[in-house]
Structure 1
Amino acid sequence: MTDAVVIDARGHQCPIPSLRLMKALRTAAPRDRLVLLATDPMARIDVPYLMTQTGGRLIDVEETEGVIRLTVETGAPVAPTD
């Protein structure tokens, strides 16, 4: 696992924060951590839903001075089945 990738979506409204996170998830390795910075309160709802859809998980949510910091982890690779 490397340092968390930070996706800065401050000042953007739904669906831009989730779309930027989704784009970053496409190139992330399994178990990578990403941090989304957002000011749109809908990110609190959209990101957990997105993570369940992609097999990842929400690690932490913090809010400071109107900036929501959502830390997520990508899912594990799917083991091949015979």
Structure 2
Amino acid sequence: MTMTEKTVDARGLNCPMPILKTKKALTEIPVGGLLEVLATDSGSMADFEAFARQTGDELVTAEKTAEHYRYVIRRRR
């Protein structure tokens, strides 16, 4: 498992809340730091891929587990 600076628990939240919580949390970690996001929104995979493209942050991990989706994002700016 990748060591992260912080975890955002967005399980049970629908779009756009997981992205909004992620955007806020990224400002709270250092550039180069890793943020873990847990979500249950079925559209979150596409949302996080688009978020990474738009912001320039790196989507390191995007996976679906039996319980939720898990993303790890590296802050680039």
Q: Within 1, Cα distance between the matches of 2:75 and 2:47? A: 16
For 1:1-80, what aligned pairs fall within 5 Å after superposition?
3-4=3-4, 5-75=6-76, 77=77
5+ long unaligned stretches in structure 2: none
5+ long unaligned stretches in structure 1: 78-82
Three-state SS of the structure 2 residue aligned to 1:62 is: strand
Three-state SS of the structure 2 residue aligned to 1:22 is: helix
Three-state SS of the structure 2 residue aligned to 1:27 is: coil
Q: Within 2, Cα distance between the matches of 1:28 and 1:52? A: 19
TM-score by length of 2: 0.86
* Structure 1 residue 57 displacement after superposition: 0.8
Q: What amino acid does structure 2 have at the position aligned with 1:37? A: L
TM-score by length of 1: 0.81
Q: CA RMSD in A?
A: 1.3
Q: Within 2, Cα distance between the matches of 1:41 and 1:24? A: 21
Structure 1, 6-15 or 42-51: larger mean CA deviation: 42-51
User: When the two structures are aligned, how many residues end up with a matched partner?
Assistant: 74
Identity %: 32
Task: Work out whether residues 48 and 57 of structure 1, in 8 Å CA contact, stay in contact via their aligned partners in 2.
Answer: no
Q: Within 2, Cα distance between the matches of 1:52 and 1:16? A: 18
